[in-house]
C-alpha cells in the first residue's frame, strides 16, 4: 500500500509482529489492510461517527482497578478477558475447561472484527462435544480497565457438537475512567440438533466504543436464541450474522438497546436461511433519551432452497425526547416462493393517555414513566429466563430510566 497507515492500523500491525505473527492474526491483519476501516461512505456504516476511531493513536494506558464483577451464576464456567487478554487468575480453574479447549480461529464479519482477530493476544475457544452437559452457563466477561486512548481486541470461538445444549452469557464491563476502542469477534457453530441460548450484556462506560462481530452458523434442527442488551459505551455496534445451514432449525433474535444522551447504539443483523422448513423470530426494541441514536438494520435472506421458511421480524422504538433519532431498516430478500415472512417497524412516544391513567392511580410521573418503559421492554427481558439475569436486565433498564 502506498498511502501511510493510520496510527490505528500501524498499532495493529505492530501487535501482530509482537505476538510472533500467529498465522490467524497475520491473516486477519492482511484482510484488514486490504480493505481498510469502513467510512461513512459505506452503506452499512453510514450513521456512525467512525473518523475519531480511525484516527485513534492507541496508547498502553494506565491501569485502573477492576470493575465490580457480577456474582457467579449457578454452576457457571467463567472466562475473564482483561483488555483482551485471558486472565486465568480471574477465570474458572483451567482444569475445568482445558479438555474442551479449541484453537479454531474466528471468521470475522467486519473490518473491526478483523482488527479484533489481528490484535487479540491469543485465540481462545471451546469445542463442546456431542452430548456434553455443562453444569451451568459459559460466562465470558470482557473487562476494560485502562485509561487513555487504548485499543483492545478479543476473540472467542465456540462449537457445539451434535445435540449439545448450552447457555452462553457475555458481559462487557469497564472500570471507571477506562476508555478507548474495544473490539471483539465471536464465532459460534452449532452442529445438528444443538441448542445455544446466548445472552449479551453490554454495560461499558461512556469512555469506550464497542465494536462486536458475532458470526453464528447453525445446522439441521439446531436452535439458536440471542438476547442482547445494550446499555453502555459511547458508540456501540453489534454486527450479528446467522447462517442457517440445515432444515428444521429455529432462530430467535431479541435485543433491547437504550441509547441515552450522547450515545449511539447500532445493531446490524443478517439472517441467512439457506434450507427449507426453518423458523425465525426477531424482536428488536430500543428506548431513546436525550439525543441518543438507535440504528437497526435487519437483513433476512431466504434462499431459493429455503421453501416453507416462516420468519417474523419486528423493530420497535420508543422516543422519550425530541432530540432522539432512530434509523430502522428492515431488509428482506426472498428468493423462495413458498414462504411466510413478516416485518414491521414502529417508532412511538410515551402515550399521554397511559401516563395520565397511571398518575390518576397515585403514581408520580417519574414512576409512571418507569412502569411504561418496563411494559415496553418486558417481553425481551423475560427472554433472559433465569432470575439472576432478569434482575440484571431490569437493573440496566432502571438505571436508564432514572438517568
Binding residues for other proteins, rule: CB under 8 A, are 351-354, 356-365, 367-368, 371-372, 374-379
Comparing CA positions, the residue from 1, 37, 30 lying closest to residue 16 is: 30
Tell me the closest approach of the beta carbon of residue 287 to other proteins, in angstroms: 12
Q: Which C-beta is closer to other proteins: that of 331 or that of 366? A: 366
Q: Which C-beta is closer to other proteins: that of 62 or that of 382? A: 382
Give the contacts of 119 (CB within 8 A, at least 6 positions apart).
11, 12, 15, 16, 25, 84, 151, 152, 153, 183
Tell me the closest approach of the beta carbon of residue 372 to other proteins, in angstroms: 7
Residue 190 pairs in a beta bridge with: 160
Give the span between the Cα atoms of 344 and 385, in whole angstroms: 25
Tell me the closest approach of the beta carbon of residue 366 to other proteins, in angstroms: 10
Give the span between the Cα atoms of 289 and 65, in whole angstroms: 30
Q: Which C-beta is closer to other proteins: that of 236 or that of 286? A: 286
Q: Hey, CA dihedral for 43, 44, 47, 48, is it positive or negative?
A: negative
Q: Which C-beta is closer to other proteins: that of 262 or that of 375? A: 375
Contact 208, 175 (CB under 8 A): no
Tell me the closest approach of the beta carbon of residue 283 to other proteins, in angstroms: 13
Tell me the closest approach of the beta carbon of residue 289 to other proteins, in angstroms: 19
Q: Which C-beta is closer to other proteins: that of 341 or that of 378? A: 378
Q: Which C-beta is closer to other proteins: that of 39 or that of 382? A: 382
Write phi, then psi, for 375 (nearest 5 degrees). -60, -35
Give the span between the Cα atoms of 330 and 350, in whole angstroms: 23
Tell me the closest approach of the beta carbon of residue 374 to other proteins, in angstroms: 7
Amino acid at each position: 500500500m502506498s498511502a501511510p497507515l493510520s496510527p490505528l492500523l500501524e498499532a495493529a500491525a505492530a501487535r501482530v509482529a509482537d505476538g510472533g505473527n500467529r498465522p490467524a492474526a497475520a491473516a486477519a491483519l492482511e484482510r484488514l489492510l486490504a480493505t481498510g476501516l469502513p467510512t461513512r461512505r459505506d452503506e452499512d456504516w453510514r450513521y456512525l461517527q467512525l473518523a475519531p476511531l480511525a484516527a485513534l493513536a492507541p496508547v498502553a494506558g494506565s491501569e485502573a482497578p477492576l470493575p465490580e464483577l457480577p456474582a457467579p451464576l449457578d454452576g457457571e464456567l467463567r472466562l475473564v478477558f482483561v483488555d483482551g487478554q485471558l486472565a486465568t487468575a480471574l477465570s474458572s480453574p483451567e482444569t475445568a475447561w482445558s479438555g474442551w479447549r479449541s484453537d479454531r480461529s474466528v471468521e470475522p464479519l467486519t473490518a473491526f472484527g478483523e482488527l479484533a482477530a489481528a490484535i487479540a493476544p491469543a485465540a481462545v475457544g471451546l469445542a463442546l462435544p456431542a452430548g456434553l452437559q455443562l453444569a451451568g452457563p459459559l460466562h465470558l466477561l470482557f473487562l476494560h480497565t485502562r485509561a487513555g486512548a487504548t485499543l483492545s481486541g478479543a476473540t472467542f470461538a465456540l462449537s457445539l457438537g451434535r445435540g449439545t445444549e448450552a447457555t452462553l452469557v457475555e458481559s462487557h464491563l469497564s472500570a471507571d475512567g477506562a476508555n478507548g476502542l474495544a473490539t471483539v469477534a465471536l464465532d459460534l457453530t452449532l452442529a445438528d440438533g444443538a441448542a445455544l441460548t446466548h445472552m449479551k450484556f453490554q454495560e461499558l462506560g461512556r469512555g469506550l466504543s464497542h465494536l462486536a462481530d458475532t458470526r453464528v452458523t447453525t445446522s439441521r434442527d439446531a436452535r439458536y436464541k440471542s438476547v442482547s442488551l445494550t446499555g453502555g459505551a459511547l458508540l456501540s455496534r453489534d454486527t450479528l450474522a446467522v447462517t442457517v445451514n440445515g432444515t428444521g432449525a429455529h432462530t430467535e433474535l431479541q435485543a433491547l438497546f437504550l441509547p441515552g444522551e450522547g450515545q449511539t447504539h447500532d445493531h446490524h443483523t443478517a439472517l441467512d436461511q439457506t434450507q427449507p422448513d426453518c423458523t425465525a423470530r426477531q424482536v428488536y426494541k430500543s428506548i431513546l433519551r436525550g439525543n441518543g441514536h438507535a440504528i437497526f438494520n435487519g437483513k433476512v435472506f431466504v434462499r431459493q432452497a429455503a421453501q416453507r421458511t416462516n420468519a417474523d421480524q419486528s423493530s420497535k422504538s420508543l422516543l422519550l425526547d425530541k432530540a432522539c433519532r432512530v434509523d430502522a431498516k428492515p431488509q428482506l430478500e426472498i428468493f423462495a416462493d413458498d414462504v411466510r415472512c413478516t416485518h414491521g417497524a414502529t417508532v412511538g412516544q410515551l402515550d399521554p393517555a397511559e401516563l395520565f391513567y397511571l398518575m390518576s392511580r397515585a403514581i408520580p410521573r417519574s414512576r409512571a414513566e418507569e412502569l411504561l418503559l418496563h411494559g415496553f421492554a418486558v417481553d425481551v427481558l423475560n427472554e433472559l429466563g433465569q432470575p439472576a439475569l432478569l434482575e440484571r436486565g431490569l437493573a440496566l433498564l432502571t438505571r436508564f430510566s432514572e438517568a
